[in-house]
Amino acid sequence: MERLLIIDGHSYAYRAFHAIRELHSPSGQPTNAIYGFIKMAAKLRANVVPTHWIAVWDGGLSAERLAVLPEYKAQRPEMPESLRPQLDELVEYLDAARIASFCREGIEADDVIACIARRAEAKGWTVIIASADKDFMQLVSPRVGLINPHDKTEIIWASEQVRAKTGVEPEQIVDWLSLMGDSVDNIPGVPGVGPKTAAELLKQFGSIEKLFGRLEEVKPERLRGALLGAKETVWRNRELVRLHEVACDVAPEEMAVKSQDTGRLSALYARWGFKGLLAGLSEAGSRDRQAVLI
């Protein structure tokens, strides 16, 4: 059965960058994000054992979301200067390792990941998304799971884990986020409504349509007034939080797990000064040659 692993490229590059503070190539080039990403990708592959995999990268902010909320993600700091050049090197690594990579200018990685996941799910594939972004919980289904790098158990999240984390079902995540907002993306929610209150409201009413249709039942009065005053904000948030359908023209064969280009990887590892990874390639090559002889 086809098993697709989708890696949120920027999420893992940032995580690797901050996990390993100082690492440089013999020429002085920063390589901490590169090294960490390679190790994380290998660990993900061993955990998931995919038949297909792809790393997806941000191509910029969504024009549609910015039109709805000009302040969308405006508070995010600039990418660290020492990380920026490592991203191009990472794409070079992915090409040598023969791991599919996708980036489209003006399209957010979240939307591309959702698009690829939905198409694979429709084909009957199992999909695992590797990302710390809570927006992906809205995609969880019997065929779509999540690996959250912050979760030390390393289990693949299903509906059970989403409920334990949020108090709501995966199909209620968009409404849950719309009510409470998302400070990471600079999306304000209903004043005074946090994760717990949002979950309690959705447990009682099921959806924000039903919530606002029966607003007179909400108690206390303070909460009812806050919801009434923020009604337009909640509906706007839905458009911001919901993952959009976008162009994600990646053929299944492009994502298939393939044998890596050992020669190119050896050259890259040598350039970056990754002696351990280089030695691992040599050992793997020796084992392959012995297997052929036997």
In this prediction, residue 141 carries a pLDDT of: 97
On average, the pLDDT of the chain sits at 94
In this prediction, residue 292 carries a pLDDT of: 32
Q: How far apart are CA 164 and CA 284, in angstroms?
A: 41
Q: How confident is the model at residue 283 (pLDDT cuts 50, 70, 90)?
A: confident
Q: Both tokens of residue 264?
A: 């190119």
Q: How confident is the model at residue 249 (pLDDT cuts 50, 70, 90)?
A: confident
Is pLDDT of 108 > 80?
Answer: yes
Q: Both tokens of residue 7?
A: 């890696």
Q: How confident is the model at residue 228 (pLDDT cuts 50, 70, 90)?
A: very high
* pLDDT digit string, tens, across residues 63-98: 999 999 999 999 889 999 999 999 999 999 999 999
In this prediction, residue 290 carries a pLDDT of: 41
Mean pLDDT for 242-270 is 95
In this prediction, residue 247 carries a pLDDT of: 87
Is pLDDT of 263 > 60?
Answer: yes
Topology, domain 3-158+243-275: Rossmann fold (3.40.50)
Q: Both tokens of residue 231?
A: 């009604």
In this structure, which amino acid lies at residue 289? Answer: R
In this prediction, residue 284 carries a pLDDT of: 63
Question: What's domain 170-241's architecture?
Answer: Orthogonal Bundle (1.10)
Mean pLDDT for 164-175 is 97
In this prediction, residue 282 carries a pLDDT of: 76
User: Of the candidates 243, 225, 234, which has an alpha carbon nearest to the alpha carbon of residue 198?
Assistant: 234
- Write down the residue that tokens 């005053």 correspond to: 229
In this prediction, residue 294 carries a pLDDT of: 42
**In the chain, where the domains are located:** 3-158+243-275, 170-241
| Residue 212 CB neighbours (<10 A) | 15
Q: How far apart are CA 186 and CA 76, in angstroms?
A: 8
- CA dihedral 14→88→247→178, nearest 10 degrees, is 20
In this prediction, residue 154 carries a pLDDT of: 85
- Write down the residue that tokens 């695992």 correspond to: 128
